[in-house]
Amino acid sequence: MADETNQLRVRLVTPERVLFEAAASAVELPAKNGYMEVLFGHAPLMAELGAGDVIVHGAGVAETDGVAGAQHYNVSWGFAEVLPDRVTILASDALKPEEIGVDRAEEQLVRGQKMWSEAGESEEAYTEALHVIAEAEAKLATAAEKH
Amino acid sequence: MANVLDLRRRIRSVKNTRQITKAMKMVSAAKLRRAQERALSARPYARMITSVLQSLTGRIEIFDPETGNLRHPLFATRPEKRVLLIIVSGDKGFAGAFNSNILKTAFQFIETNPDKEIDVEAVGRKGRDLMRRRYKAAEYVEETDEHGQTRQVRAERKGRVEVSGDHPGMLLKLETARVFKLAESVIARYVHEEIDAAYIVYNEFKSVIQQRLVVERLLPLIEIGSQQVAAAVEPTEEERERAGEAAISAGIALEPADTQEADEEARRFGTAQVDYIYEQPARELFNGLLPQYVSSMLYHAMTESVAAEHAARMTAMDSASNNASDMIDAYTLQMNRARQAAITKEIIEIVSGAAAV
């Protein structure tokens, strides 16, 4: 299994398309209960994702984004499978930082806060509001980092 | 016999029509190509969700060993008394028999199940218009429960079949977020036992010559990864041939693109023969994945239906262009005959006039 390159094969898949597929040296994932970083040789793992950034380090030479070869993708909700030489991320929604509409994310945040204050006793509505807020905040954070 | 001028006018008009149908055919061909690409790029995700669910069902019991209850309500089967029928039709006409075939299949389903109450959910404008005309819309009343919360409760039925909702424009700009909302609402209705099963009618589309109309069962989930087809209508040989001809003249590949390698790759997702560390309990993962699975089934049906609609329109417009060409040929012949007859007549007049002198 071990090849000399010690590279992970990373794939980021959304319901609509395969957004990213390349070899990389490390990936940071926004798991539901906190960020984690995966290096080559990680133990097999399945995780549910929350809202946040997937950061791919040292990916393909051709596509180097400004930040020292690290590529950011904003993902919200999904699942990830980690194998020693492979990481597959199934995201419900994934965006490149430049695709994030700051206005729309802000709108979403306002909407989420409104839902939160109107949720009252209903646990379902409360969780949904928190979901919306988390997603919007993650998007804004990614967008802010970029500028 | 019509005179030359009239015929010439007719020909010009038919030529204009042919221009329009030709343009529409090319537009549909381009849209079909895009729809096919979209269906293709949605495949890895759907495959992965399916395979990871399959592998999870092998690892955790669907039945709770302690209580004997089902782990997830979506696996519960009940006698089908109330059924949800999702009808995926087109948004526009000019597509041959595409919309009417889908609606025919839907009505057949309604008629063959006379003892069931059916809720219709229409996706696509054409289907919605007809269903609305034929059946009453479902009504809801607000009710306050003992905790002082208001919720929507279904009012008494006015007929066996009711339209519970429609989604115009969903196909025009197919977004997973909207499809997911629909999936969530279907799941919620199933979990609250408002419906006992959910079916979807749509036009399956593997390639231009490989398509059929299916009624597929969405819920309850009986076996993950296998299609539960309740009824299917295959196109006739003639229809298939026509579609093939139209596709070739528009430069569309007849065979579906080869994706075997990618499919194999996707099928391996989450199924490696190792013990995974589960970040969350497997059950939680499972519950998170199920709605995604239902949503991806819906999305898949819609992408295929969109592709099929464009293919049907392309075929219809190709036939229309061919018919227009035939008509032009016939009229040209007729016009030349009329012109010749007029000339002959004039010559005879001159000759006989000269002879009389």
Give residue-wise pLDDT tens across range B117-168.
Answer: 899 999 988 888 998 888 888 877 777 666 666 666 777 777 788 888 888 8
Looking at residue B338, what is its pLDDT?
92
Taking residues B265-291, report their average pLDDT: 76
| Contact state of A45 with B278 under an 8 Å Cβ cutoff | yes
| Residue of A12, A16, A85 to mutate, interface with B, max B Cβ within 10 Å | A16
Residue B126 tokens, joined: 């054409």
Contacting residues for B226 by C-beta, under 8 A, at least 6 apart: none
- Sign of the alpha-carbon dihedral angle for B168, B172, B178, B182: positive
Fold classified for A4-97: ATP Synthase; domain 1 (2.60.15)
Q: What's the rounded Cα separation, in Å, for the pair B188 and B184?
A: 6
Beta bridge partners of B154: B140
- Domain extent listing, chain A: 4-97, 100-146
Q: Which of A13-22, A120-129, B276-285 has the highest mean pLDDT?
A: A13-22
| Contact state of B279 with A47 under an 8 Å Cβ cutoff | yes
Strand pairing report for B229-233 and B210-219: antiparallel
- The predicted complex's ipTM stands at 0.78
| Contact state of B176 with A93 under an 8 Å Cβ cutoff | yes
The answer to which of A34-48, B3-17, B304-318 has the lowest mean pLDDT is: A34-48
The answer to which of A74-78, B62-66, B185-189, B230-234 has the lowest mean pLDDT is: B62-66
Considering only CB atoms, which chain B residues are within 8 Å of A12? Answer: none
Spatial strand order of the sheet with B229-233 comes to: B136-137, B161-167, B117-123, B82-88, B197-207, B210-219, B229-233
Contacting residues for B31 by C-beta, under 8 A, at least 6 apart: B310
Of all residues in chain B, the percent with pLDDT exceeding 70 is 90
| Contact state of A79 with B277 under an 8 Å Cβ cutoff | no
| Residue of A48, A76, A118, A123 to mutate, interface with B, max B Cβ within 10 Å | A48
Chain A contacts in chain B segment 104-163 (CB below 8 A): 147, 149
Looking at residue A119, what is its pLDDT?
74
Name which of A13, A14, A46 is nearest B270 (Cβ-Cβ): A46
Considering only CB atoms, which chain A residues are within 8 Å of B263? Answer: none
Residue B349, classified by CB atoms within 10 Å of its CB into exposed (0-12), middle (13-18) or buried (19+), is exposed
With cut-offs at 50, 70 and 90, classify the pLDDT of residue A63: very low
Residue A139 tokens, joined: 């998007």
pLDDT digits over B259-277, tens only?
676 777 777 776 666 777 8
**Could you identify the residue written with the tokens 């089934």?**
B297
Distances B192 to B73, B153, B229 between C-alpha atoms, Å: 9, 11, 25
Domains and CATH numbers, chain B: 10-321 (3.40.1380.10)
| Contact state of B45 with A31 under an 8 Å Cβ cutoff | no
Looking at residue A2, what is its pLDDT?
47
Considering only CB atoms, which chain A residues are within 8 Å of B275? Answer: 44
Considering only CB atoms, which chain A residues are within 8 Å of B180? Answer: 92
Considering only CB atoms, which chain A residues are within 8 Å of B49? Answer: 90
Name which of B49, B278, B284 is nearest A90 (Cβ-Cβ): B49
Give which of B317, B104, B134 is closest to B213, Cα–Cα: B104
Closest-CA distance of chain A to residue B224, Å: 18
Measure CA of the first residue to CA of the last residue in chain A; give whole Å.
40
Average pLDDT of chain B to the nearest whole number: 84
Name which of A33, A81, A93 is nearest B269 (Cβ-Cβ): A81
CB-based contact (8 Å) between A79 and chain B? yes
With cut-offs at 50, 70 and 90, classify the pLDDT of residue B258: low
Chain A contacts in chain B segment 155-214 (CB below 8 A): 176-177, 180
Considering only CB atoms, which chain A residues are within 8 Å of B44? Answer: 13, 18
Q: Say if residues B193 and B80 touch (Cβ distance below 8 Å).
A: no
| Contact state of B42 with A83 under an 8 Å Cβ cutoff | no
With cut-offs at 50, 70 and 90, classify the pLDDT of residue A1: very low
pTM more than 0.95: no
Considering only CB atoms, which chain B residues are within 8 Å of A45? Answer: 276-279
CB-based contact (8 Å) between B246 and chain A? no
| Contact state of B276 with A44 under an 8 Å Cβ cutoff | yes
| Contact state of B279 with A90 under an 8 Å Cβ cutoff | no
Name which of A13, A48, A81 is nearest B44 (Cβ-Cβ): A13
| Residue of B51, B267, B273, B279 to mutate, interface with A, max A Cβ within 10 Å | B279
